[in-house]
């Protein structure tokens, strides 16, 4: 979830001067349009994740480098996806989120198994599961704008382009200590895991 040439150029121009914009604002992890993602919000989500990971049976999780950056990336991505949806008059309802979560829980063998998978595979704490589900549904809707399906090459290409356009419009500025936003891939610096599902993949 590749941008038009114009979108690439605009994003590059925006990123050239806006790293200092975030870095010059104390306590700011990233600026996404007019919205500010604070260091405090990032650290709170990281703390939630670590507390839940620590409660897992021994040997199931060992923290790797880059957790904070991955968290910043996820929070920026969520804002970009939301902007892309709104720009096209789309929205995800609470009922859709509830239905999708129930469907995924059945596919994974229950809510606890779904929560553990999202925690380990996507670093999503329990309180963020609904937000993650809404994001996934939103990406599906973006793909469907061109009659495509998320998880296919064409569907993913469509979503990549729409997210790149949203990134350019928002003029994303990430505090340099976390890296720089890659508007073409919609990740911070470089993704550690694929964030677009393969065709037929759950969650």
- The alpha carbons of the chain give a radius of gyration, in whole angstroms, of 17
Check whether 106 has a pLDDT greater than 50. Answer: yes
In this predicted structure, what is the pLDDT of residue 65?
72
In a domain, residue 104? The reply is yes
Please say whether the dihedral angle defined by the alpha carbons of residues 47, 104, 79 and 23, taken in this order, is positive or negative. Answer: positive
Query: In the beta sheet, which residues pair with residue 64?
Result: none
Q: What is the pLDDT of residue 199?
A: 42
Candidates 169, 178, 181; CA nearest to 7 is 169
Q: Decide if 179 is inside a domain.
A: yes
Is the residue at 203 inside a domain?
A: no
Task: Give the separation between CA 36 and CA 200, rounded to whole angstroms.
Answer: 35
Q: How far apart are CA 157 and CA 69, in angstroms?
A: 25
Let me know: does 203 contact 117? Beta carbons within 8 Å: yes
Per residue in 110-151, pLDDT (tens digit) is: 999 999 999 999 999 999 999 999 999 999 999 999 999 999
- Confidence band (pLDDT; 50, 70, 90) for 200? very low
Q: How far apart are CA 108 and CA 161, in angstroms?
A: 31
Would residue 122 count as lying in a domain?
yes
Q: What is the pLDDT of residue 63?
A: 75
Inside any domain, residue 177: yes
Is 3 among the domain residues?
no
Q: What is the pLDDT of residues 32-90, one digit of tens each?
A: 999 999 999 999 999 999 999 999 888 777 777 788 999 999 999 999 999 999 999 99
Q: Is residue 51 part of a domain?
A: yes
Q: Looking at the predicted structure, is the pLDDT value of residue 94 above 80?
A: yes
Structural domains of the chain, count: 1
Task: Please indicate, yes or no, if residue 13 is contained in any of the structural domains.
Answer: no
Residue 13 has pLDDT above 70, yes or no: no
User: What average pLDDT does the structure give for the chain?
Assistant: 82
Q: Which domain holds residue 91?
A: 29-56+67-187
Find the mean pLDDT for residues 1-24: 36
């Amino acid at each position: 979830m590749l941008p038009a040439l114009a979108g690439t150029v605009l994003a590059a121009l925006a990123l050239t001067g806006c790293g200092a914009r975030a870095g010059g604002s104390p306590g700011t992890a990233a600026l996404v349009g007019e919205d500010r993602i604070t260091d405090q919000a990032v650290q709170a989500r990281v703390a939630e994740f670590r507390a839940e990971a620590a409660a897992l049976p021994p040997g199931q999780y060992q923290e790797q480098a880059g957790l904070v950056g991955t968290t910043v990336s996820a929070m920026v991505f969520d804002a970009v996806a939301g902007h892309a949806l709104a720009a096209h008059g789309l929205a995800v309802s609470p009922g859709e989120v509830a239905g999708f979560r129930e469907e995924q829980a059945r596919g994974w063998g229950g809510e606890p198994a779904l929560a553990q998978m999202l925690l380990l595979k996507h670093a999503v704490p329990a309180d963020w599961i609904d937000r993650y589900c809404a994001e996934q549904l939103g990406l599906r809707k973006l793909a469907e704008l061109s009659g495509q399906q998320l998880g296919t090459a064409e569907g993913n290409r469509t979503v990549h382009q729409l997210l790149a356009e949203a990134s350019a419009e928002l003029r994303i500025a990430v505090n340099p200590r976390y890296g720089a936003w890659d508007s073409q891939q919609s990740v911070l610096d470089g993704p550690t895991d694929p964030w677009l599902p393969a065709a037929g993949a759950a969650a």
